[in-house]
Amino acid sequence: MALITISGDPGCRPEEVGRITAQGLGFELIGPARLASLIKEEFASAAIPDKAYPFVMASTIARLATQAHLVAVTNGGASHFRKFPGALLIHLTAPESKRIGVLMVDRRVDRPAARDILREMEKQEKAARKSRFGRTTFRPEDHDLVINTGNLETEQIAALIASAADSLHLRDHGHLSASAEAHLQFQFRLQLSKHGIAPTSHVQLKRINFVHPSEEIFANLLEFYRIDWEYEPKSFPVQWDKDGRVLESFTPDFYLPEFDLYVELTTMKQAHVTKKNRKVKLLRTIYPHINIQVFYQKDFQNLIFKHGLAERPLHV
């Protein structure tokens, strides 16, 4: 198997590095929002105490490692991931001035405000590390590679990680074997049993066949911002015949549970979206309680170019 974990100090953009690394290597990306969703799926009925979280996280990722090579973005748990065969553990750091500058750009605030945001992020992260992993800071010796991102662009950092992965021939490994997973799970579940927690063993990577590349790009953007999402989760009837049979339905592309918001992407030219606009109008009329946002081609291109998620305009 191949497992690359990426952690980072606040302001080092580990999620963005993880996304680009996963895309370059062809690995499955497990960002913080997706990991939280998968943990919820695997331990649906359990309340997770902080002390049990490292074992919950490791158990879930072990299950996923039997299905794909992984890039997991998570702070903490390096000592548990060290037990995985084919693991490469990365930590990102940078001078405070660089991290403040990153937050100024990402949050669109001035330097004093960015400094305050960084202080609060560091405070929260230290508290989370202490409660979950028993220490407030990371230990360099727990990682295979600590990268100072102060003078590096995101793509350069991802290239360094990919080079390290290739030097270790990680892509030549098969997925985690059943016997290796069973060995790991025994250790993790022994600890979880002390908290009365047992996984369902049902967690699976959802292989989503997006209809259009723009949808996968948008999903990556949501992952980057740690926004939970569902792809085409529900269809809404919008036209019926005289006997009440459904003639036409509308299925929005995404649903964002945190915001109770449906999102429809329309990357076609404006002149070709009349039919889709009609369906959106019907949806809003028939289901006034449904919140839906339409992203047109120009809106979507502004998003993807801002975040560097595509090299050319996308058309349907």
pTM (two decimals): 0.69
Number of Cβ within 10 Å of residue 127's Cβ equals 11
Residue 316 pLDDT exceeds 90: no
Q: Which pLDDT tens digit goes with each residue over 18-48?
A: 988 998 898 999 988 888 888 888 887 667 8
Domains (ranges, CATH) in the chain?
3-193 (3.40.50.300), 213-307 (3.40.960.10)
Do 49 and 195 meet the contact criterion of CB atoms below 8 Å apart? yes
Per the DSSP assignment, residues forming a β-bridge with 146 are 91
Task: Residue 279: name the closest of 292, 298, 260, 297 by CA.
Answer: 292
**Averaged pLDDT for residues 256-277:** 77
Q: Which pLDDT tens digit goes with each residue over 68-120?
A: 999 999 888 888 898 898 999 999 999 999 999 999 988 889 999 999 999 99
